């Protein structure tokens, strides 16, 4: 599977501007991002890039006074792990959960230690939304419950759910690379109660869960909201992220229309996590 790198130079660079670009590029199909001020790197399947308009960058709305220069570069699969190793540092969420790669040594001890070799998949805890979802999962009881990790990426949330005592976990992603990476990370963390599937919300028919974790993007969350509700047990909780602060009200309105009740929200920089109950 081949990927293309979008290299964007932001002028002037701010973290908030980078977040705005990331959110819009994610809507266009870009899957993974790296920030190295003033450069933002974004990655997309080459096949997906070919479906976008030639001038797709013109679809991105820039804040007033901001300009960008950009270039596209083909990325060989064999270079990806080396690229991640040069950029991937271990992180600790809430002083309780360490997310590290196999090449990290001398890391501090925490309640939960998750081994993630991310390859091309999204979800290491470095992005604000994954960090928010890990924090939410650390503060919500899942022991003995059934959990869905929708849009699982690396499988980091599914793995943490099992570590926190979930009875069973289903992890779903529509990306072949993410699916394979989740399987690898499940094995690397010696997980026994996670089942991974390649697909989308159509797979949820007939499934029921106590807890649903969905860290995707606003458009997919809105489109698949009814499917999530149908698969959420009465009294169950759903945690959603992949959205900006400005999207919270839009998500709340859509969730309440399908019978969900708002319960909590959390923010990290300009990103948000919103929790609901059924």
Integer-rounded Cα Rg, in Å, for the chain is 18
pTM tops 0.75: yes
Task: Please give the Cα distance from 274 to 133 (Å, whole number).
Answer: 9
Task: Please give the Cα distance from 173 to 176 (Å, whole number).
Answer: 8
Q: Are residues 69 and 176 in the same domain?
A: no
Q: Are residues 98 and 56 in the same domain?
A: no
Helix axes 218-230, 248-257, angle to 10 degrees: 20
182-189 average pLDDT score: 95
Task: Tell me, yes or no, whether 84 lies in a domain.
Answer: no
**Owning domain of residue 169:** 92-277
Query: Going by C-beta distance under 8 Å and a sequence separation of 6 or more, which residues neighbour residue 117?
Result: 81, 84, 101, 102, 181, 184, 185, 188
Q: Are residues 15 and 130 in the same domain?
A: no
Q: What percent of the chain has pLDDT over 70?
A: 92
Task: Tell me, yes or no, whether 238 lies in a domain.
Answer: yes
Residues 201-210 have pLDDT tens digits of: 999 999 999 9
Q: Is 87 helix (H, G, I), strand (E, B) or coil?
A: helix
**pLDDT for 250:** 95
Task: Please give the Cα distance from 41 to 39 (Å, whole number).
Answer: 6
CA 49 to chain centroid: 20
Overall domain count for the chain = 2
Task: Tell me, yes or no, whether 81 lies in a domain.
Answer: no
Q: Are residues 114 and 252 in the same domain?
A: yes
pLDDT at 80 > cutoff 70 = no
pLDDT at 10 > cutoff 70 = yes
Task: Tell me, yes or no, whether 172 lies in a domain.
Answer: yes
Structure tokens at 79: 């270079």
Q: Are residues 145 and 237 in the same domain?
A: yes
Q: List the Cα angle 13/19/23 in 5-degree steps.
A: 135
Whether the bond between 38 and the residue before it is cis, its omega within 30 degrees of 0, is yes
Where is pLDDT greater, at 12 or 269?
12
15-23 average pLDDT score: 84
**pLDDT for 118:** 61
Alpha-carbon distances, residue 198 vs 114, 172, 212, 230, 255 (angstroms) = 22, 6, 17, 20, 25
Q: Are residues 19 and 59 in the same domain?
A: yes
Tokens 């900006």 map to which residue? 244
Task: Tell me, yes or no, whether 86 lies in a domain.
Answer: no
Q: Are residues 139 and 104 in the same domain?
A: yes
147-171 average pLDDT score: 96
Count CB-CB contacts under 10 A for residue 54.
7
């Amino acid at each position: 599977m081949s990927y293309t790198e979008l290299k964007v130079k932001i002028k002037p660079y701010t973290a908030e501007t980078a977040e705005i670009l990331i959110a819009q590029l994610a809507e266009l199909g870009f899957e993974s991002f790296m920030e190295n001020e003033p450069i933002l790197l974004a990655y997309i399947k080459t096949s997906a890039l070919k479906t976008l308009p030639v001038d797709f960058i013109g679809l991105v709305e820039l804040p007033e006074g901001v300009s960008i220069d950009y270039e596209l570069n083909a990325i060989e699969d064999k270079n990806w792990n080396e690229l991640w190793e040069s950029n991937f540092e271990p992180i600790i969420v809430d002083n309780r959960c360490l997310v590290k790669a196999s090449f990290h040594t001398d890391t501090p001890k925490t309640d939960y230690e998750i081994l993630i070799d991310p390859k091309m998949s999204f979800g290491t805890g470095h992005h604000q939304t994954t960090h928010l979802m890990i924090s939410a999962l650390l503060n919500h009881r899942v022991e003995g419950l059934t959990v869905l990790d929708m849009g699982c990426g690396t499988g980091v949330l599914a793995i943490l759910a099992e570590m926190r005592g979930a009875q069973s976990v289903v992890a779903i992603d529509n990306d072949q690379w993410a699916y394979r990476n989740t399987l690898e990370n499940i094995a690397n963390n010696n997980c026994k109660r996670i089942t991974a599937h390649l697909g989308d919300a159509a797979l949820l028919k007939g499934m029921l869960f106590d807890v649903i974790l969905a860290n995707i993007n606003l458009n997919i969350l809105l489109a698949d909201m009814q499917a999530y509700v149908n698969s959420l047990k009465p009294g169950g909780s759903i945690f959603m992220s992949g959205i900006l602060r400005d999207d919270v009200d839009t998500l709340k309105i859509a969730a309440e229309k399908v019978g969900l009740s708002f319960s909590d929200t959390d923010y990290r920089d300009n990103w948000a996590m919103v929790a609901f109950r059924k």
